[in-house]
Every structure is written in structure tokens, then in C-alpha cells.
Amino acid sequence: MRPTDVSDPDYYHRVVDCQWACPAHTPVPEYIRLIAQGRFDDAYMVNWVSNVFPGVLGRTCDRPCEPACRRGRVEEENLAKPEPVAICRLKRVTADYKSDELRAMIPRPAAPNGKRVACVGAGPASLTVARDLALQGYAVTVFDGEKKAGGFIRTQIPRFRLPDSVIDEEIGFIIGLGVDFRAGTRIDSMKSLLAEDWDAVFVGSGAPRGRDLVLEGRQEAAADIHIGIDWLASVSFGHVTSVKKRVIVLGGGNTAMDCCRSARRLGADDVKVIVRSGFEEMKASPWEKEDAQHEGIPIINYHVPRAFLHDNGRLVGMSFQIVRAVYDDKGRRSLVPTGEPDAIFDCDEVLIAVGQENAFPWIEPDAGIAFDKWGLPELDARTLQTTIPRVFFGGDAAFGPKNIITAVAHGHEAAVSIDRFLHGEDVTQRPPAHVNLASQKMGIHEWSYDNAPSNDARHKVPWAKAEAALASIKVEVELGFDLKAAFQEAQRCLNCDVQTVFNPKLCIECDSCVDICPTDCITFTEDGEEEDLRGRLNAPSPNQEQALLVGGPLKTARVMIKDEDVCLHCGLCAERCPTGAWDMQKFLLVTAKAGPTCRDRKQGALA
């Protein structure tokens, strides 16, 4: 194999599983260390720079980082229940414990540069664009048809998961940069907006249309049947404050989970989720399903809705066909009726949460923006630019419904595009991330990070008492970590960003690192091709997602191979190395954000 090129910014980035998996590439281990040091304001700012909404995301993020976290792999066969670091809930810790000093740490916007940018919709995508550009001196105006900013964060996510105060504070930081928020202003015509002479327009209008289920009885019983996301919005605005006793929620995604838990709090004592697919294949995150079940809500799977049953327009129940999953030789699933008689469930109200769609009724077909056959804008996936060069899309409006952190990541990219575009630079040229590696050695046996891995199993976030939590839709269920648990959970992080950097010129092949490594990562052996090498390392190396670090050739013509997969980043290899051929170096990735660092001409004039 070729010796690893560690100057490739992606090489060490991939080793930091969580950061690599995070769409916004939040430097996770960096903020987790700051939490352990009690530096909550700094930890908050690390998040704020990357993901804009630490308090919101610390409660609601889809957390792609957690399934990726190395800790889960390392605990396999070590602890009874292998689990990742509670990365998301530690993010909340930074928001919960930040001090009053934080406001002063939020940077001030640069002097106005005279450019005007309009954002349609005040969801996380637009708000990220607004933050990034306002800081660079742009005059940003954000329009939303609703009275308050936040988009689905405000209207869909129920208050028992995310209190208003958290949203208010974090949106306040952005509006406070001088962003002009036009509440209650729905944009009805793209053409007229474009005529208003904005230098750039960002569309972050989301995927606002909930799918319906047209079945027998739908019309007749319409009064007791609601589209999930419309209903959640009504609950959020206080238009709906109660629900009948027996509620069925149709669908297996996160919207279904929010619907059923909300119904439970609005007075229903018999709430069921009924879903076509199998439990395992449901779209909802495992923890959302767990939370719903924890609140006594059964999830009934393999039931395909057939009809709404009513008594002269009063909904009385629903019938379902019972199916099972059958897989063909390509592994494709089909749902086949079992032949059992249809199942009937009595109910008084039904919430339909079977998916969302994009809709752009306000964008005229002749506005100049091309749409594909699925009704989504034709975009360059990296620049987010449309067929009108000064119009950009992001968030759910760009590629269909995703999640908050993806909307934030789009916002950053769109802001970079807009900044380059308005400086007359090619938007398809994307500025590379900047990488910094700094040795963590402080003394012979001292590192500037806490290198001893903790053996603790994942700490549980405490919950409000069930009676209190279910009594009101506004009572936040999760209480967040207390300081002690936060510290202990933070200590579970393996510091995967503190990289093992190998210098073959210094290695004397004494084997000390091989002998000390607790997870048998290191092998000195004859060179070969990757597949062959993976088969003859000191420990099996099945995870192809993680690279082999190759150093050499060495004096004996052998090579050093380190499997990055389950390295604990404990630094023992570096401590045992007599020559300093191993060093522990902290990897810091600075992704390009709108502003001089993302431009070719750093001082560039506006186009």
C-alpha cells in the first residue's frame, strides 16, 4: 500500500467518526472536552459556529453522529450494552449551563457592505444563511408567513420536546445581528420578489404539505381526521387544545411519534400508532419510538389502512388489512396479505402522518426557476444554485424533507455560494477546509487532554415525572444532564480528534507500541495490498469504513499498519515510543464559512 497521505484534509477527518457524520461537521470531541473542563461558554460557541442552534439541536437533532461514534464499536464485547457517547444531549449541556457572558462572545457584524439578500421562510436553513451573511455585513431580510421565526422548529416540534424559550434565545442571537425579520409576510410571487431587486434570494420555505390518505370514509368522517403536520401546527399555535379519548396515529416517522405523544398530552387516554411496515423499518429514530412506548403508546405494525368507519359522519373506528413482509432474492420487500380477516380498531380521531411533500405554489412556472419531475428545483447539489444564478435553495425546500442539521449545513453552503457570487467568484469552486494538527505533548508523560478512557456505560438523561409530563403539552419531558452526569458522560468521549501521527523516519521497530496498545491496532509487517494486509493484522479488521494508516518503508523494509477502527486515542503508543515516532496531535478542521476565508481574493471587492 502507499504510505498514507495525511495531508489530505479528509484523512484524519474520517477518523473523527462523529464530526465526519455531522452534516455541519461540528467539532464534537472539542466541545465535549470543553464541557469536561467546565468551559460551557466556549463549548457553546464551538457549536454555535458550526451548527447555529446548540440548544435546539441538543434536544432535537437527528444525531447522525451517534450511530457513527467509535465508542459504540469499542464497547462491543466490553460492556453489556454498547452505546455511543450521548453527543446530542451533551450539546444541550452547553446551552443549559452557558453563562451571561455568552452574549458578549457572539461576534459583531462587519460594516455593511451594501448588498441585500432576501430569505423566504424563517426555518433553520434561512436563519443560517442570515447569520452567516449578516456577520459579513450583508443586509439580510427574512420573510415568513408565520408570526414567529423558526419554521418547523417552531410549528412542528412539540413544546414538550423543545421549549419556546430555547428557540427564542437562539433566534434572538441571529436577529440581534441586525437581520430584518418580516413576520406574517408570506411571499406570494417569486416574480415580484425578484423584481424587488435583491442581490440574492435564498429559498428556505421547507416541505410544508402533509400527505393525505384517500380511503373509504375519508370525506364523510373528515371532521375527526387530520393531517398530522397541520394538526401539530394548530396545537403549537394553541388552536387545538384538546383531543377525543381514543386516537389512532397512522404512519411510522418522527411526525407520527410527535402526533401520538401530543395526543396523549391533550387528553386522549387510548392512543395507538398503526403502521404498514415492520417495527424495525419504521422511519422514526429508535429513541423516538422508545420514548413513545415509554409513555404507554403501543405501536402496531404490519397493518395497512383500509377504511375509516363512521356512524353518520361520526368517526367510530378504522379497518386494516394484516400483512407480512416477503423478501425477493434481491432483498426487496413487499407486503403480502396474510389472509387473516381485517382488523378493526375503535377510535374517535385519526391523525395522518404518512409523509410530507414539497409545494411551491408561489413560484410561477415562468419565473425562470427550473423544476424536475418530482417538483423539486433543479440545483447544483454543492452550490445550491438554481437556474437563476442569484437564486439559491436550501433545507427541506431543496431536496425534500430531511432534518434541522441538514438545513443548517445547506445554509452554510448557500451562504458561501452567495458570498462568492456577489464577489464575482465562481461558485462551483468550493474552498477547502483548513486543517490544523497540534501536538498535545506537555511533558514526558503528560498530555494536554485527559487520555485515560473511562469505562462508564452511557449515562441516562433524567426525565420529568410521568404524571407531570403527560399532564401538559408544555412540560419538557427530558430534564437534561446535571453537572456530575454531564462530566461523566463527557469523559466517555475517546477524543478521536487527538490523532495518532506516525513518523517512519524515527521508528526503530522496538514493538513497544504494538505491545501496549489495548485494542491491538498496530502491526509491523511486510507490505501488501490493502485486502491482503487487512487479513493479516494483529487483530481482525472488518470495518472498511475506517482506513489503515500506513507508514514506511522502515529499516527492515516492513511497514507500520495502524487500523484506525477501534483506536481509543489513549496515547499509550506515543508514551511507550522511545523515539517520538508516534505523537498525539489534535486535529482541528475549520470549514470555510461565508467571508474572506471562503474567497479566492481575500480582500476582494464586491461585484
Partner 1 sequence: MTYIAKPRLHHPSLVANKVGYTRRDYEGKVSTLCAGCGHDSISAAIVQACWQLDIEPHKVAKLSGIGCSSKTPDYFLGASHGFNTVHGRMPSVLTGASLANRELLYLGVSGDGDSASIGLGQFAHAIRRGVRMVYIVENNGVYGLTKGQFSATADRGSTAKKGAVNHDAPIDLVGMALLMGATYVARGFSGDKGQLVPLIEGAIRHGGAAVIDVVSPCVTFNNHAGSTKSFDYVREHNEAVSRIDFIDLARELKASPEPDEVIRVPQPDGTMMRLRKLHADYDPTDRRSAMNHVQALQAAGEIPTGLLYVEAEATDLHAALNTTRLPLNRLGEDALCPGPEVLERLNSALR
Ligand X SMILES: Cc1cc2nc3c(=O)[nH]c(=O)nc-3n(C[C@H](O)[C@H](O)[C@H](O)COP(=O)(O)OP(=O)(O)OC[C@H]3O[C@@H](n4cnc5c(N)ncnc54)[C@H](O)[C@@H]3O)c2cc1C
Is residue 469 a contact point for partner 1 (CB under 8 A)? no
Cα 487 from Cα 503, distance rounded (Å): 34
Residue 77: half-sphere exposure toward Cβ, Cα within 13 Å = 4
Residue of the chain from 66, 75, 258, 413 that contacts partner 1 (CB under 8 A): 75
395 binds, among partner 1, ligand SF4, ligand X, none (CB under 5 to 8 A by kind): ligand X
For the segment 417-446, give every residue that binds partner 1 (CB under 8 A): 444-446
Residue of the chain from 99, 334, 556, 597 that contacts partner 1 (CB under 8 A): 556
Contact string 504-533 vs ligand SF4 (x = CB under 6 A): ------------xxxx-xx-----------
Q: Provide the pairing of β-strand 349-352 with 225-227.
A: parallel
The distance of closest approach from Cβ of residue 300 to ligand SF4 in the complex, given in angstroms and rounded to an integer, is: 35
Residue of the chain from 13, 73, 310, 412 that contacts partner 1 (CB under 8 A): 73
146 binds, among ligand X, ligand SF4, partner 1, none (CB under 5 to 8 A by kind): ligand X
For the segment 75-104, give every residue that binds ligand SF4 (CB under 6 A): 84-85, 87
Q: Closest CB to ligand X among 161 and 218?
A: 161
Is residue 189 a contact point for partner 1 (CB under 8 A)? no
Cis omega (within 30 of 0) for bond into 337 = no
Number of Cβ within 10 Å of residue 441's Cβ equals: 17
Cα 161 from Cα 157, distance rounded (Å): 7
3-class DSSP assignment, residue 549 = strand
Is residue 494 a contact point for ligand SF4 (CB under 6 A)? yes
Contact status, residue 319 vs residue 343, Cβ threshold 8 Å:
yes
499 secondary structure, DSSP code: E
Q: Where would I find the beta strands (DSSP E) of 532-598? A: 548-551, 559-563, 582-590
Contact status, residue 345 vs residue 308, Cβ threshold 8 Å:
no
Contact status, residue 121 vs residue 397, Cβ threshold 8 Å:
yes
Contact status, residue 533 vs residue 525, Cβ threshold 8 Å:
yes
Cα 158 from Cα 237, distance rounded (Å): 10
Q: Closest CB to ligand X among 29 and 123?
A: 123
For the segment 290-329, give every residue that binds partner 1 (CB under 8 A): none
Is residue 535 a contact point for partner 1 (CB under 8 A)? no
506 secondary structure, DSSP code: G
**Binding footprint of ligand X on the chain (CB under 6 A):** 60-62, 120-126, 143-146, 151-153, 156-157, 186-187, 204-206, 208, 229, 232, 254-255, 258, 362, 395-397, 401-405, 407
Q: Closest CB to ligand X among 27 and 150?
A: 150
> Total residues contacting ligand SF4 (rule CB under 6 A)?
30
Q: Closest CB to partner 1 among 292 and 496?
A: 496
Is residue 71 a contact point for ligand SF4 (CB under 6 A)? yes
258 binds, among ligand SF4, partner 1, ligand X, none (CB under 5 to 8 A by kind): ligand X
Which residues are registered as beta bridge partners of 464? none
End-to-end distance of the chain based on CA atoms, in angstroms? 47
535 binds, among ligand X, ligand SF4, partner 1, none (CB under 5 to 8 A by kind): none
Phi–psi pair at 288, nearest 5 degrees: -70, -40
Cα 140 from Cα 153, distance rounded (Å): 20
Q: Closest CB to ligand X among 84 and 124?
A: 124
Q: Closest CB to partner 1 among 449 and 463?
A: 449
Phi–psi pair at 276, nearest 5 degrees: -70, -45
The distance of closest approach from Cβ of residue 257 to ligand X in the complex, given in angstroms and rounded to an integer, is: 8
276 binds, among partner 1, ligand SF4, ligand X, none (CB under 5 to 8 A by kind): none
Which residues are registered as beta bridge partners of 524? 560
Is residue 342 a contact point for partner 1 (CB under 8 A)? no
Cα 30 from Cα 588, distance rounded (Å): 8
The distance of closest approach from Cβ of residue 577 to partner 1 in the complex, given in angstroms and rounded to an integer, is: 6
252 binds, among ligand SF4, ligand X, partner 1, none (CB under 5 to 8 A by kind): none
For the segment 563-582, give every residue that binds partner 1 (CB under 8 A): 566, 568, 570, 572, 575-579
Cα 498 from Cα 495, distance rounded (Å): 6
The type of residue at 185 is: T
Cα 233 from Cα 130, distance rounded (Å): 24
Is residue 354 a contact point for ligand SF4 (CB under 6 A)? no
Helix (H) or strand (E) holding 548: strand 548-551
Cα 274 from Cα 279, distance rounded (Å): 10
- Full DSSP string of 140-172: EEEE-SSSSS-THHHHTS-TTTS-HHHHHHHHH
The distance of closest approach from Cβ of residue 232 to ligand X in the complex, given in angstroms and rounded to an integer, is: 5
For the segment 99-158, give every residue that binds partner 1 (CB under 8 A): none
Contact status, residue 587 vs residue 501, Cβ threshold 8 Å:
no
Contact status, residue 24 vs residue 405, Cβ threshold 8 Å:
yes
The distance of closest approach from Cβ of residue 112 to ligand X in the complex, given in angstroms and rounded to an integer, is: 24
3-class DSSP assignment, residue 269 = coil
549 binds, among partner 1, ligand X, ligand SF4, none (CB under 5 to 8 A by kind): none
Is residue 15 a contact point for ligand SF4 (CB under 6 A)? no
Q: Provide the pairing of β-strand 559-563 with 548-551.
A: antiparallel
Is residue 511 a contact point for partner 1 (CB under 8 A)? yes
522 binds, among ligand X, ligand SF4, partner 1, none (CB under 5 to 8 A by kind): ligand SF4
Is residue 570 a contact point for ligand SF4 (CB under 6 A)? yes
> Total residues contacting partner 1 (rule CB under 8 A)?
37
Number of Cβ within 10 Å of residue 530's Cβ equals: 15
Q: Closest CB to ligand SF4 among 215 and 516?
A: 516
Tell me the Cα Rg of the chain. Answer: 27
Q: Closest CB to ligand X among 383 and 546?
A: 383
Number of Cβ within 10 Å of residue 67's Cβ equals: 13
Is residue 508 a contact point for partner 1 (CB under 8 A)? yes
Residues that bind partner 1 (CB under 8 A): 73-78, 444-446, 451-453, 455, 508-512, 514-516, 518-520, 539-540, 555-556, 566, 568, 570, 572, 575-579
Applying CB under 6 A, which residues contact ligand SF4? 16-18, 28-29, 69-71, 84-85, 87, 493-496, 500, 516-519, 521-522, 562, 567-573
